[in-house]
Structure 1
């Protein structure tokens, strides 16, 4: 892989030291709150059916493999956190990268350029202040020029036919929090966000619908927060999924969150979430 900005040596086991949280019983919300958010959820579920990833989207000739993709996503996250880009921008950038890899074979020597262009496009869509392109090209040891970055940006836009907007798991998760009658604590919400971010490097999780990924993170958090299942009917009502519907997504996310991984991405996320959990 190409030389990139090195990660700091971090070692915080966030799950092991995570304080226990408890669920509050259902709270009252106005019908207007439910109706408005439920309409948004319905529209997002229609929108997520477009621009999907195939199960084998990385199996093209000369394309990078799952391990290299995970390394690139880790590096993208570091760049985006340094640039203080928001949650939706991070997820959108990775989705643009994946959809580009699905349509265009990319070698290891060019993947950083595709990643930078994906970040730039996502930032233009979601951010008020866009990162300076001159600064962006400095992250991969200045191996690329501004001209190359802008050219790759145009290539991606043409490949994706300017179909760039797709609801992210974070969009669904926030809608679930607003729709549910359960009174979530901030640390519980952040734990769900952590699980979504943790699953980003897994190429198989990336192929599932964003609503399923968000629902799986919500389910895992609820199951850890309460030994009783009084919340299960509320989970079904809010997400539209049963436990069986999201079982295939729950399993890999659970493995990632409980296996005590020592890889760079796990360590990197622990460092950034340690104050929130």
Structure 2
């Protein structure tokens, strides 16, 4: 959609009007948006631009973001607040870099950010429960996990410090002050191998406790995908 210069304010006003109707319980009337343009545009023009924008977007106004996934994971797995806020902080840092993160699904970024946050908080990096909920194995997170590590390490030296200052607040458990970990590919492979070995041992222990019956079941019957891959 190309926009001529003298219509930019109209597009912005109509976009705000659409957003207010989407987000607010009691959205402002269109006349209020006409007022903030100092009557540069009429009510009919704002409504017409609203129609044009919605038609171009095919009414597809919402897409899942990493924020949505992280909060859902937090509810389903009851993760500690510190881990949740650190996950949100790491995911939010990724918004400052178009490359490489635009290549990854938000669900993958959120899962990798959660794994990194758990690692930094000295918790088990992953679990069978998280694998089921996120639909990602730990090894699936490798590329994004390593990118997030680099982003987290570099955050302290960035000229933009708004995100860091935000998460320094006590209400966010001051997670931006947690020391970053510079994990390379070799170290991540070792982490994955250790995790898989531990999972194997736990399955064997559970099988022995069940009188030899296997603790694992086929993925098709045991794994419930709570999300499509977005």
Output the TM-score relative to the length of structure 1: 0.47
The 1:227–1:192 alpha-carbon spacing in structure 2 relative to 1, beyond 3 Å, is closer
Distance 1:256 1:215 in 2: 16
What's the RMSD between the two structures over aligned residues?
A: 3.7
Equivalent residue for 2:148, pick from 253, 270, 274: 253
Superposition deviation, residue 245 in structure 1: 1.9
| Greater gyration radius | 2
| Cα distance in 1, alignment partners of residues 158 and 19 from structure 2 | 29
Q: Following the alignment from structure 2 to structure 1, what is the Cα–Cα distance between the partners of residues 159 and 38? A: 26
Match of 2:180 in 1: none
CA offset digits 1:50-88 (Å, max 9, x no partner): xxxxxxxxxxxxxxxxxxxxxxxxxxxxxxxxxxxxxxx
Q: Which residue of 1 aligns with 2:98?
A: 203
Q: What is the alpha-carbon distance in structure 2 between the residues aligned to residue 108 and residue 201 of structure 1? A: 27
Q: Tell me, which stretches of 5 or more residues in structure 2 are unaligned?
A: 175-230
Distance 2:109 2:39 in 1: 34
Residue 193 (str. 1) matches residue 88 (str. 2): yes
Q: Distance in 1 between matches of 2:39 and 2:157?
A: 33
Q: 1:172, 1:214 within 8 Å by CA — same for their partners in 2?
A: yes
For residues 116-265 of structure 1, the aligned pairs below 5 Å read 118=15, 120-130=17-27, 145=40, 152-180=49-77, 183-204=78-99, 205-226=101-122, 228-229=124-125, 231-259=126-154, 260-264=156-160
What is the count of residue pairs matched by the alignment? 166
Structure 1 stretches lacking a partner, 5+ long:
1-103
Q: Distance in 2 between matches of 1:106 and 1:247?
A: 41
